[in-house]
């Protein structure tokens, strides 16, 4: 059931809990969105808005054996995957966040990576990554940065509003990340 306009507005500033394995569980890739949108805030699910391409890209790239619905996000740890956000505050648009909120989110994300020790941290949104981590020239793809032992990969923002990235191009980038994560796992 789709949230009503009133439910969407009431979701402003809500926080959606991270999806993480239990302490000590395997975490191949920790995906970080920018922040939850109102639709996600209203449903309590990451990347929940119809038209968001995260879930199709995750499946088509081989991270999952079937297309998961956002309501099945709690299955991700069984695939060695997790989800968090740079900023927890739910907004209608990512540009409602301040640069300081993104930088603070970067510091919190670094601590989360230290605790859960993923092989890869994958940030979905290059502009937010640049701001959060002070990397103004960062591009989509593997980064030279690391957080502890975690390698960093920047993915395109999967929002349906990101018209410069088709689903096929997005899947290709998710596939590159999956292949890199598989290479580490196979060592």
Rounded-to-integer distance, Cα 135 and Cα 144, Å:
11
Mean pLDDT of 37-42: 96
pLDDT at 1 over 90: no
User: In whole angstroms, how far apart are CA 144 and each of 32, 105, 151, 179, 183?
Assistant: 18, 20, 8, 17, 17
Total Cβ atoms within 10 A of residue 123: 27
- Convert the pLDDT of each residue in 7-22 to its tens digit: 999 999 999 999 999 9
d(Cα 70, Cα 50) in Å, to the nearest integer? 10
Task: Determine the Cα–Cα distance for residues 27 and 5; give it in Å rounded to an integer.
Answer: 36
Residue-wise pLDDT for 40-81, tens only, equals: 999 999 999 999 999 999 999 999 999 999 999 999 999 999
pLDDT at 187: 59
159-172 core/surface letters (b: 16 or more CB in 10 A; e: else) = beeeeebeeeebbe
Query: What is the tens place of the pLDDT at every residue in 78-93?
Result: 999 999 999 999 999 8
Burial status of residue 141 (CB atoms within 10 A of its CB: 0-12, 13-18, 19 or more) = middle
Q: In angstroms, rounded to a whole number, what is the distance separating the alpha carbons of residues 165 and 50?
A: 17
Helices 126-133 and 99-116 cross at an angle (nearest 10°) of 90
Q: Is 161 left (phi over 0), alpha (psi -120 to 50) or beta?
A: alpha
The 10s digit of each residue's pLDDT in 154-177 is: 999 999 888 899 999 999 999 999
With beta carbons less than 8 A apart as the criterion, state whether 130 and 115 touch. Answer: no
Split at pLDDT 50, 70, 90, the class of 186 is: low
Amino acid 75: pLDDT: 98
Task: Return the higher-pLDDT residue of 23 and 36.
Answer: 36
- What's the pLDDT score for residue 142? 98
pLDDT tens-digit readout, 101-147: 999 999 999 999 999 999 999 999 999 999 999 999 999 999 998 98
Closest CA relative to residue 18, chosen from 97, 78, 81:
81
């Amino acid at each position: 059931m789709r949230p009503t306009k009133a439910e969407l507005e009431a979701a402003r500033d809500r926080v959606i809990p991270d999806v993480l394995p239990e302490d000590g569980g395997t975490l191949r890739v920790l995906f970080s969105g920018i922040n939850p949108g109102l639709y996600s805030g209203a449903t309590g699910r990451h990347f929940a808005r119809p038209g968001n391409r995260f879930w199709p890209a995750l499946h088509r790239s081989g991270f999952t054996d079937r297309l998961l619905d956002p309501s099945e996000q709690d299955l991700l740890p069984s695939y060695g995957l997790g989800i968090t956000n740079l900023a927890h505050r739910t907004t209608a648009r990512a540009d409602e966040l301040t640069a300081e909120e993104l930088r603070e989110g970067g510091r919190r994300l670094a601590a989360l990576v230290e605790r859960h020790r993923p092989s890869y941290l994958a940030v979905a949104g290059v502009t937010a990554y640049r701001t959060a981590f002070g990397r103004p020239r960062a591009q989509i793809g593997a980064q030279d940065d690391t957080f502890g032992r975690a390698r960093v990969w920047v993915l395109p923002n999967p929002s349906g509003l990101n018209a410069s990235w088709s689903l096929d191009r997005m899947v290709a980038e998710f596939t590159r990340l999956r292949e890199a994560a598989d290479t580490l796992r196979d060592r």
